Amino acid sequence: MKKYHVKKGDKVVVNSGNYKGEEATITVVLTAKDRVVLSFTSNKDRAIGKRTIKKTKLNPNGGMVERSVSVHVSNVNPVAADKTE
C-alpha cells in the first residue's frame, strides 16, 4: 500500500496547475492513479471544476460539464495549522 503526505479530509493548497494557490479539502484519494479529488473551500463559485467530455449516448453534445476536480498528489501541500501563542 502506498503512503502519501495527505489523506482524506485534509485541507491543502494546490501548488501547481490550473488551480494553483487555491485552498481545497480532499474528498477522495485515488491510489491507483496517485491522484486526489478536491472540493474547493476558498470560492463558493468554484466548488466544482469544469471538465471537457466526449460525446456519448448519455450526453450527445459532449462539451464542458461541471464535476469534481482531481490533481496529482504531488501538486498539493497540506495547509499549515494556525499557531496560537
**DSSP category for residue 73:** G
pLDDT of residue 68: 80
Rounded mean pLDDT for each run of 10 residues along the chain, 85 residues in total: 90 90 91 91 62 87 83 93 55
pTM as predicted? 0.71
69-72: strand order across its sheet: 69-72, 35-40, 23-30, 11-14, 76-78
CATH assignment of 11-77? Answer: 2.30.30.30
Domain boundaries, the chain: 11-77
